[in-house]
C-alpha cells in the first residue's frame, strides 16, 4: 500500500485538532464531502486521512451511519519503551492519574527480591488509577526504592512518573521486563471501569531498570481488556 501523502497527514492532524481532541465518544463527524470542502482538498485525501485515524483507533465507522469518535483504546507496541502518558498523548488524548494511596514500608523478603534491595530497606508504594480523557484504563500499584528517590511522595504524582524520575532525579528508565496474563475483573474493579463483572482484563507485572542497570520500579497493573492491548515483535536468531 502506498504511503499517505503529506496532504493526507496534514488533514489527519487537522481532524484530530478540530473534531477529536475536544469531543466525546460517539460524536459523529461531518461527511467526507463536507470535510473536503472545509479543508479544501479532495474526498480521496479526506478518505485517506480518516482511514489513518481508524487504524490508530481514534475513529470508527458504521456503514450507512457515519464516522464516530472512538472511545480511548491503547495498543502498546514492543520493543518501543514509552510511558503510559506518552502512549496516551500520541493518540491525541489527555493522560491523567487519580491517586489512590501512597505509603512508605520496610521491604519484606518478597519486595526486597523484586527491587534488589536488602530486607528491611524502606520503599515507596504508590497506587493510582490511570486515565485517558478521564476514562479509567488501568489500576496500577508500583514500588520504588526510597534511597534512589528521596522526597518522592512530596511531588505531584498525578502526571507521568517516569518524567518525574527523569526531571527531578536524573533517572531514566532504560528497560522494561513485563509479564502479561489474562484475568477477569472483580466487582469493584468492574464498577470502576464501567464494564460487566468478570469482563476481560490484562494483568501486567513489570520491572523497570534505569540507565545504570538498577531496578528502580516494580509494579503490578490491571488494564481494561476492551481498551488496551500489547503487541510484541520477535526476531529470529541470527547465526554468526
For residue 102 the three cell numbers come to: 501512597
Strand partners of residue 101: 127
| Residue 174 φ then ψ, to 5° | -105, -25
- Domains in the chain, please, with CATH? 6-69 (1.10.10.10), 74-231 (3.40.1410.10)
What is the dihedral sign for C-alpha 129, 130, 132, 138?
negative
What is the dihedral sign for C-alpha 232, 85, 24, 196?
positive
Instruction: Reduce the DSSP state of residue 57 to 3 states and report it.
Output: coil
**Closest to 216 in 3D by CA, of 115, 70, 84, 89:** 115
Q: Is the peptide bond before 79 cis (omega within 30 degrees of 0)?
A: yes
DSSP 28: B
Average pLDDT across each block of 10 residues of the chain; the chain has 240 residues. List them in order: 75 84 66 91 92 80 75 64 82 88 97 96 97 91 97 96 95 90 92 89 93 94 86 56
Contact 152, 97 (CB under 8 A): no
Amino acid at each position: 500500500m502506498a504511503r499517505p501523502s503529506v496532504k493526507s497527514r496534514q488533514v489527519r492532524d487537522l481532524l484530530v485538532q478540530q473534531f477529536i481532541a475536544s469531543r466525546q465518544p460517539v460524536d459523529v463527524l461531518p461527511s467526507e464531502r463536507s470535510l473536503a470542502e472545509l479543508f479544501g482538498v479532495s474526498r480521496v485525501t479526506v478518505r485517506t486521512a480518516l482511514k489513518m485515524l481508524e487504524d490508530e483507533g481514534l475513529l470508527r465507522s458504521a456503514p450507512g451511519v457515519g464516522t464516530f469518535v472512538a472511545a480511548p483504546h491503547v495498543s502498546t507496541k514492543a520493543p518501543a519503551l514509552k510511558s503510559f502518558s506518552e502512549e496516551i498523548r500520541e493518540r491525541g488524548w489527555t493522560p491523567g492519574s487519580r491517586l489512590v494511596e501512597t505509603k512508605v514500608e520496610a521491604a519484606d523478603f518478597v519486595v526486597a527480591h523484586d527491587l534488589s534491595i536488602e530486607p528491611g530497606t524502606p520503599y515507596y508504594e504508590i497506587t493510582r488509577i490511570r486515565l485517558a480523557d478521564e476514562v479509567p484504563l488501568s489500576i496500577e500499584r508500583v514500588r520504588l526504592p526510597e534511597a534512589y528517590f528521596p522526597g518522592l511522595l512530596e511531588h505531584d504524582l498525578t502526571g507521568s512518573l517516569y518524567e518525574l524520575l527523569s526531571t527531578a532525579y536524573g533517572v531514566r528508565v532504560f528497560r522494561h521486563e513485563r509479564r502479561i496474563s489474562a484475568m477477569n475483573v472483580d466487582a469493584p474493579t468492574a464498577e470502576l471501569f464501567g464494564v460487566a463483572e468478570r469482563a476481560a482484563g490484562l494483568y501486567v507485572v513489570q520491572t523497570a531498570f534505569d540507565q545504570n542497570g538498577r531496578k528502580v520500579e516494580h509494579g503490578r497493573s490491571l488494564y481494561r481488556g476492551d481498551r488496551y492491548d500489547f503487541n510484541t515483535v520477535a526476531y529470529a536468531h541470527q547465526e554468526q
